[in-house]
Copies of this chain bind each other. A is one copy, B any other.
């Protein structure tokens, strides 16, 4: 591997400084964008910029979902690139997790690795491991940090993830967590998993299985999981994401002030849990 991922180091430093686990997700869904952003030439970036500037002091990490930018193809990607550049300028200490859920053949994953880790220089990427180990190595060999989808937060996550395996009577998502942990032994400090906060019992179970693994936990906030429940189930090696629940509270002017207030409220709540 070319160099050890800096994601974990940056996140831990930030977590200790803020006594918080709040990752601010950026899902600039066109139909929900503030009216002032819609008037801009670069609406996705306008929205992102307002959010970054208003909330960066409360973020232990950022999680932009690439789909909302890719919706507009080349123009959308341009705005995504502006957003990443802005984050690196305004708050270089806050790690960026590109939520792209990429997964392809090895020679193809290499292309994604080049874009996300070399060109953009984000700190982590969410990936889909259905195609197996050789499709993940390019990200790791590029020195990047990956979060492998394990148990996702959506209602249909059980369709395949909760299939029971013959060899040990366990669920596929449990196998996936072991698969990720094993890869993480070979690439220390470079592999985590995604576990939806909408499944607190399962979250606790996976945590017991892998006490030290880093979990990226969506599903808090708009999707309904409680902060306390997630924290007690999963502990401090957790990146707890809220997207809509922080950033899309209003379409009117002042939306970024509301985002700031909400981020502060969550941080205060986190601080109580931490101490």
Contact = CB atoms under 8 A, between A and B. Distances in A.
Contacts of A152: 105, 130-132
A3 interface: no
Interface stretch (A112-120, A203-211, A225-233, A260-268): A112-120
Most chain B beta-carbon contacts within 10 A, residue among A65, A67, A102, A149: A67
Nearest to A134: B156
Given A112-B67, A115-B70, A128-B128, A160 B134 contact: no
A176 interface: yes
A81 B73 CA distance: 8
Interface in A133-173: 133-135, 149, 152-161, 163-167, 169, 172
A130 B130 contact: yes
B111 A132 contact: no
A68 interface: yes
Contact of A130 (B65, B134, B161, B166): B161
5 contacts: A73-B77, A73-B78, A74-B75, A74-B80, A101-B128
A26 to B, nearest CB: 12
Contact of A74 (B78, B135, B166): B78
Interface of A: 27, 29, 65, 67-68, 70-78, 80-81, 101-109, 111-112, 114-115, 119-120, 128-135, 149, 152-161, 163-167, 169, 172, 175-176, 179
Nearest to A163: B165
A121 B245 CA distance: 33
A185 to B, nearest CB: 15
A159 B172 contact: no
**Copies of this protein chain in the complex:** 2
Contacts of A106: 154
Contacts of A80: 73-74
A79 B153 CA distance: 35
A220 B169 CA distance: 36
Contacts of A115: 70-73, 76
A134 B155 contact: yes
Contacts of A167: 163-164
Given A78-B74, A165-B165, A166-B166, A132 B160 contact: yes
A154 B130 contact: no
Contacts of A78: 73-74
Given A132-B156, A160-B176, A165-B165, A74 B71 contact: no
B108 A68 contact: yes
